[in-house]
Protein backbone atom coordinates (compact mmCIF):
# COMPACT_ATOMS: atom_id res chain seq x y z
CA UNK A 1 0.00 0.00 0.00
CA UNK A 2 1.47 3.36 -1.06
CA UNK A 3 1.77 5.89 1.74
CA UNK A 4 0.08 9.19 0.94
CA UNK A 5 1.46 12.49 2.18
CA UNK A 6 -1.20 15.12 2.81
CA UNK A 7 -0.13 18.74 2.47
CA UNK A 8 -2.02 20.67 5.12
CA UNK A 9 -0.49 23.98 4.05
CA UNK A 10 1.46 24.49 7.26
CA UNK A 11 5.17 24.95 7.92
CA UNK A 12 6.81 23.13 10.82
CA UNK A 13 8.07 25.10 13.84
CA UNK A 14 11.62 24.49 12.61
CA UNK A 15 10.75 25.98 9.21
CA UNK A 16 9.22 29.07 10.83
CA UNK A 17 12.22 29.55 13.12
CA UNK A 18 14.61 29.22 10.18
CA UNK A 19 12.64 31.71 8.07
CA UNK A 20 12.39 34.25 10.89
CA UNK A 21 16.04 34.15 11.92
CA UNK A 22 17.53 34.07 8.42
CA UNK A 23 15.08 36.05 6.27
CA UNK A 24 12.07 37.81 7.75
CA UNK A 25 13.70 39.39 10.81
CA UNK A 26 16.83 40.33 8.87
CA UNK A 27 14.70 42.18 6.30
CA UNK A 28 12.79 44.00 9.05
CA UNK A 29 16.01 45.03 10.79
CA UNK A 30 17.53 46.33 7.57
CA UNK A 31 14.36 48.13 6.40
CA UNK A 32 14.50 51.89 5.80
CA UNK A 33 13.36 54.07 8.70
CA UNK A 34 10.74 55.92 6.61
CA UNK A 35 9.20 52.58 5.65
CA UNK A 36 9.05 51.41 9.26
CA UNK A 37 7.54 54.73 10.35
CA UNK A 38 4.70 54.51 7.84
CA UNK A 39 3.98 50.84 8.50
CA UNK A 40 4.33 51.41 12.25
CA UNK A 41 1.75 54.21 12.23
CA UNK A 42 -0.58 51.93 10.28
CA UNK A 43 -0.07 49.14 12.82
CA UNK A 44 -0.98 51.51 15.66
CA UNK A 45 -4.16 52.42 13.78
CA UNK A 46 -5.00 48.77 13.06
CA UNK A 47 -4.59 47.70 16.69
CA UNK A 48 -6.71 50.70 17.70
CA UNK A 49 -9.48 49.50 15.38
CA UNK A 50 -9.51 46.24 17.30
CA UNK A 51 -9.44 48.08 20.62
CA UNK A 52 -12.31 50.34 19.55
CA UNK A 53 -14.63 47.49 18.56
CA UNK A 54 -13.62 45.61 21.73
CA UNK A 55 -14.66 48.64 23.81
CA UNK A 56 -18.03 48.74 22.08
CA UNK A 57 -18.66 45.03 22.70
CA UNK A 58 -17.47 45.27 26.31
CA UNK A 59 -19.97 48.04 27.00
CA UNK A 60 -22.86 45.58 27.33
CA UNK A 61 -21.63 42.05 26.56
CA UNK A 62 -21.49 40.97 30.19
CA UNK A 63 -25.11 42.06 30.73
CA UNK A 64 -26.35 39.54 28.15
CA UNK A 65 -23.65 36.86 28.22
CA UNK A 66 -22.19 36.95 31.71
CA UNK A 67 -18.68 38.00 32.65
CA UNK A 68 -16.78 35.07 31.15
CA UNK A 69 -18.50 34.90 27.77
CA UNK A 70 -18.57 38.68 27.61
CA UNK A 71 -14.78 38.76 27.89
CA UNK A 72 -14.44 36.04 25.27
CA UNK A 73 -16.57 38.00 22.80
CA UNK A 74 -14.61 41.16 23.56
CA UNK A 75 -11.35 39.34 22.87
CA UNK A 76 -12.78 37.77 19.73
CA UNK A 77 -13.47 41.11 18.06
CA UNK A 78 -10.18 42.60 19.25
CA UNK A 79 -8.32 40.00 17.19
CA UNK A 80 -9.17 41.94 14.00
CA UNK A 81 -6.34 44.32 14.92
CA UNK A 82 -3.55 41.76 14.55
CA UNK A 83 -5.26 40.25 11.50
CA UNK A 84 -4.98 43.63 9.80
CA UNK A 85 -1.33 43.95 10.84
CA UNK A 86 -0.25 40.50 9.66
CA UNK A 87 -2.39 40.05 6.54
CA UNK A 88 -2.66 43.63 5.25
CA UNK A 89 0.95 44.29 6.25
CA UNK A 90 2.25 46.64 8.97
CA UNK A 91 4.99 46.84 11.59
CA UNK A 92 3.97 46.12 15.19
CA UNK A 93 6.47 46.52 18.03
CA UNK A 94 5.28 43.51 20.01
CA UNK A 95 5.40 41.13 17.05
CA UNK A 96 8.76 42.59 16.04
CA UNK A 97 10.22 41.45 19.34
CA UNK A 98 10.92 38.23 17.42
CA UNK A 99 13.59 40.19 15.51
CA UNK A 100 15.93 39.24 18.36
CA UNK A 101 16.30 35.85 16.66
CA UNK A 102 18.33 37.36 13.81
CA UNK A 103 20.66 39.07 16.27
CA UNK A 104 21.12 35.83 18.18
CA UNK A 105 21.97 34.20 14.89
CA UNK A 106 24.64 36.85 14.24
CA UNK A 107 23.00 38.15 11.07
CA UNK A 108 22.32 41.65 12.43
CA UNK A 109 23.57 43.57 15.47
CA UNK A 110 21.66 43.81 18.74
CA UNK A 111 21.99 47.58 18.58
CA UNK A 112 20.35 47.73 15.18
CA UNK A 113 17.47 45.56 16.38
CA UNK A 114 16.94 47.83 19.42
CA UNK A 115 17.01 50.94 17.21
CA UNK A 116 14.41 49.55 14.80
CA UNK A 117 12.27 48.47 17.77
CA UNK A 118 12.35 52.10 18.97
CA UNK A 119 11.38 53.45 15.55
CA UNK A 120 8.38 51.12 15.30
CA UNK A 121 7.40 51.75 18.94
CA UNK A 122 7.24 55.51 18.37
CA UNK A 123 5.34 55.03 15.11
CA UNK A 124 2.85 52.68 16.84
CA UNK A 125 2.33 55.35 19.51
CA UNK A 126 1.59 58.00 16.89
CA UNK A 127 -0.95 55.79 15.11
CA UNK A 128 -2.66 54.68 18.32
CA UNK A 129 -3.02 58.16 19.82
CA UNK A 130 -4.18 59.53 16.47
CA UNK A 131 -6.97 56.95 16.45
CA UNK A 132 -7.89 57.79 20.04
CA UNK A 133 -8.25 61.44 19.05
CA UNK A 134 -10.31 60.56 15.96
CA UNK A 135 -12.66 58.38 18.03
CA UNK A 136 -13.03 61.23 20.53
CA UNK A 137 -13.78 63.68 17.70
CA UNK A 138 -16.25 61.29 16.06
CA UNK A 139 -18.60 61.45 19.04
CA UNK A 140 -19.25 57.72 18.80
CA UNK A 141 -18.51 57.38 22.53
CA UNK A 142 -21.81 59.18 23.22
CA UNK A 143 -23.95 56.27 22.02
CA UNK A 144 -26.21 54.38 24.43
CA UNK A 145 -26.24 57.19 27.00
CA UNK A 146 -22.44 57.36 26.92
CA UNK A 147 -22.14 53.60 27.50
CA UNK A 148 -19.15 53.25 25.17
CA UNK A 149 -17.44 56.30 26.63
CA UNK A 150 -18.00 55.06 30.19
CA UNK A 151 -16.54 51.67 29.23
CA UNK A 152 -13.51 53.38 27.68
CA UNK A 153 -13.00 55.32 30.92
CA UNK A 154 -13.34 52.18 33.03
CA UNK A 155 -10.75 50.37 30.89
CA UNK A 156 -8.27 53.25 30.97
CA UNK A 157 -8.74 53.90 34.69
CA UNK A 158 -8.20 50.24 35.56
CA UNK A 159 -4.97 50.16 33.56
CA UNK A 160 -3.36 53.21 35.21
CA UNK A 161 -4.25 51.86 38.66
CA UNK A 162 -2.49 48.51 38.23
CA UNK A 163 0.46 47.96 40.53
CA UNK A 164 3.80 47.80 38.69
CA UNK A 165 4.39 44.06 39.18
CA UNK A 166 0.90 43.16 37.96
CA UNK A 167 1.29 45.25 34.80
CA UNK A 168 4.74 43.73 34.18
CA UNK A 169 3.61 40.10 34.55
CA UNK A 170 0.49 40.68 32.46
CA UNK A 171 2.76 42.17 29.80
CA UNK A 172 4.94 39.05 29.73
CA UNK A 173 1.96 36.73 29.40
CA UNK A 174 0.35 38.90 26.74
CA UNK A 175 3.26 38.95 24.33
CA UNK A 176 3.88 35.24 24.62
CA UNK A 177 0.45 34.83 23.06
CA UNK A 178 0.84 37.67 20.55
CA UNK A 179 4.15 36.32 19.26
CA UNK A 180 2.76 32.80 19.13
CA UNK A 181 -0.13 34.18 17.06
CA UNK A 182 2.38 35.76 14.66
CA UNK A 183 4.45 32.55 14.67
CA UNK A 184 1.47 30.36 13.78
CA UNK A 185 0.25 32.84 11.16
CA UNK A 186 3.67 32.59 9.49
CA UNK A 187 3.34 28.81 9.61
CA UNK A 188 0.14 28.95 7.58
CA UNK A 189 0.32 29.24 3.80
CA UNK A 190 -3.20 30.61 3.25
CA UNK A 191 -5.23 33.55 4.56
CA UNK A 192 -7.93 31.48 6.27
CA UNK A 193 -5.27 29.60 8.20
CA UNK A 194 -3.63 32.87 9.24
CA UNK A 195 -6.95 34.28 10.46
CA UNK A 196 -7.60 31.29 12.72
CA UNK A 197 -3.98 31.19 13.89
CA UNK A 198 -4.33 34.79 15.04
CA UNK A 199 -7.86 34.56 16.41
CA UNK A 200 -7.48 32.13 19.30
CA UNK A 201 -4.29 33.45 20.98
CA UNK A 202 -5.46 37.07 20.73
CA UNK A 203 -8.94 36.26 21.99
CA UNK A 204 -7.29 34.43 24.89
CA UNK A 205 -4.99 37.26 25.97
CA UNK A 206 -7.78 39.85 25.91
CA UNK A 207 -10.28 37.62 27.70
CA UNK A 208 -7.74 36.84 30.43
CA UNK A 209 -6.93 40.51 30.94
CA UNK A 210 -3.28 40.55 29.89
CA UNK A 211 -1.60 43.84 28.95
CA UNK A 212 -0.47 44.91 25.45
CA UNK A 213 1.57 48.12 25.30
CA UNK A 214 0.40 49.18 21.83
CA UNK A 215 -3.28 48.55 22.56
CA UNK A 216 -2.82 50.57 25.75
CA UNK A 217 -1.50 53.45 23.63
CA UNK A 218 -5.11 53.69 22.39
CA UNK A 219 -7.08 52.64 25.49
CA UNK A 220 -5.46 55.00 28.00
CA UNK A 221 -5.11 58.14 25.84
CA UNK A 222 -8.78 57.81 24.86
CA UNK A 223 -9.67 57.70 28.56
CA UNK A 224 -7.52 60.77 29.20
CA UNK A 225 -9.23 62.61 26.32
CA UNK A 226 -12.65 61.68 27.75
CA UNK A 227 -11.91 62.99 31.27
CA UNK A 228 -13.53 66.37 30.65
CA UNK A 229 -16.62 65.06 28.85
CA UNK A 230 -20.17 64.09 29.82
CA UNK A 231 -19.07 60.44 29.85
CA UNK A 232 -16.71 61.13 32.75
CA UNK A 233 -19.50 62.80 34.72
CA UNK A 234 -21.91 59.95 33.97
CA UNK A 235 -19.35 57.31 34.94
CA UNK A 236 -19.06 58.46 38.55
CA UNK A 237 -15.46 57.25 38.52
CA UNK A 238 -12.59 58.76 40.49
CA UNK A 239 -10.15 59.61 37.71
CA UNK A 240 -7.36 61.20 39.72
CA UNK A 241 -4.72 58.78 38.40
CA UNK A 242 -5.88 58.94 34.80
CA UNK A 243 -3.04 61.17 33.63
CA UNK A 244 -0.21 60.96 31.09
CA UNK A 245 2.29 60.64 33.93
CA UNK A 246 0.45 57.69 35.53
CA UNK A 247 -0.03 56.09 32.13
CA UNK A 248 3.68 56.12 31.34
CA UNK A 249 4.99 55.15 34.80
CA UNK A 250 2.30 52.76 36.07
CA UNK A 251 1.40 51.07 32.80
CA UNK A 252 3.39 51.77 29.66
CA UNK A 253 6.88 51.16 31.09
CA UNK A 254 6.16 47.89 32.96
CA UNK A 255 3.92 46.54 30.21
CA UNK A 256 6.48 47.33 27.51
CA UNK A 257 9.26 45.63 29.47
CA UNK A 258 7.00 42.64 30.08
CA UNK A 259 6.05 42.47 26.41
CA UNK A 260 9.75 42.42 25.43
CA UNK A 261 10.50 39.57 27.82
CA UNK A 262 7.45 37.57 26.72
CA UNK A 263 8.05 38.04 22.99
CA UNK A 264 11.82 38.30 22.60
CA UNK A 265 12.96 35.93 25.33
CA UNK A 266 10.18 33.45 26.08
CA UNK A 267 9.24 32.91 22.43
CA UNK A 268 12.13 34.25 20.34
CA UNK A 269 15.12 33.11 22.40
CA UNK A 270 13.77 29.72 23.43
CA UNK A 271 12.63 28.76 19.93
CA UNK A 272 15.94 29.99 18.51
CA UNK A 273 17.80 27.73 20.96
CA UNK A 274 15.66 24.73 20.10
CA UNK A 275 15.19 25.06 16.33
CA UNK A 276 18.06 27.22 15.05
CA UNK A 277 21.09 26.87 17.29
CA UNK A 278 20.60 23.17 17.99
CA UNK A 279 19.99 22.40 14.30
CA UNK A 280 23.14 24.28 13.34
CA UNK A 281 25.15 22.10 15.69
Mean pLDDT, the chain, rounded, equals: 94
Task: Tell me, yes or no, whether 13 lies in a domain.
Answer: no
Mean pLDDT of 226-251: 95
10 within domain boundaries? no
72-121 pLDDT tens trace: 999 999 999 999 999 999 999 999 999 999 999 999 999 999 999 999 99
* Crossing angle for the helix pair 67-78 and 191-208, to the nearest 10 degrees: 140
**Looking at residue 277, what is its pLDDT?**
82
Kindly state whether residue 8 falls inside one of the protein's structural domains: no
How confident is the model at residue 1, as a pLDDT? Answer: 40
pLDDT: is 8 or 218 the higher one?
Answer: 218
In a domain, 6, yes or no: no
- In a domain, residue 74? The reply is yes
Domain of 75, CATH number, reads 1.20.1080.10
Query: Which has the higher per-residue pLDDT, 6 or 57?
Result: 57
Share of the chain above pLDDT 70, in %: 95
pLDDT tens digits, one per residue of 115-158: 999 999 999 999 999 999 999 999 999 988 999 999 999 999 99
Residue 56 resides in a domain: yes
Q: Considering the domain boundaries, does residue 159 fall inside one?
A: yes
> So what's the pLDDT on residue 278?
67
Would you say the C-alpha torsion 69, 75, 77, 79 has a positive or negative sign? Answer: negative
139: containing domain: 28-280
**Is there a domain that residue 21 lies in?**
no
Task: Give the CA diameter of the chain.
Answer: 74
State pLDDT tens for residues 250-262.
Answer: 999 999 999 999 9
Give the count of alpha carbons within 13 A of 161, CB side only.
Answer: 13
Q: Which whole-number Å values give the CA distances from 107 to 19, 97, 112, 260, 278, in the listed order?
A: 13, 16, 11, 20, 17
Q: What pLDDT sits at residue 3? A: 41
Report yes or no: 239 and 232 within 8 Å, Cβ to Cβ. yes
Number of domains in the chain: 1
Amino acid sequence: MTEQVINIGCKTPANVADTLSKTTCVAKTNAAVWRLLILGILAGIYIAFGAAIATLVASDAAKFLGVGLGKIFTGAVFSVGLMLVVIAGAELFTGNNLMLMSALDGRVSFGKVAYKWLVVYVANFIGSVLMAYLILSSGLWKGGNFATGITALNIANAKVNLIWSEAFIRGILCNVLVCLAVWMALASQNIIGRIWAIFFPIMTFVALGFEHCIANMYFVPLGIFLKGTEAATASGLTLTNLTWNSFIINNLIPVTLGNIIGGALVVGLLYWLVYVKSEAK
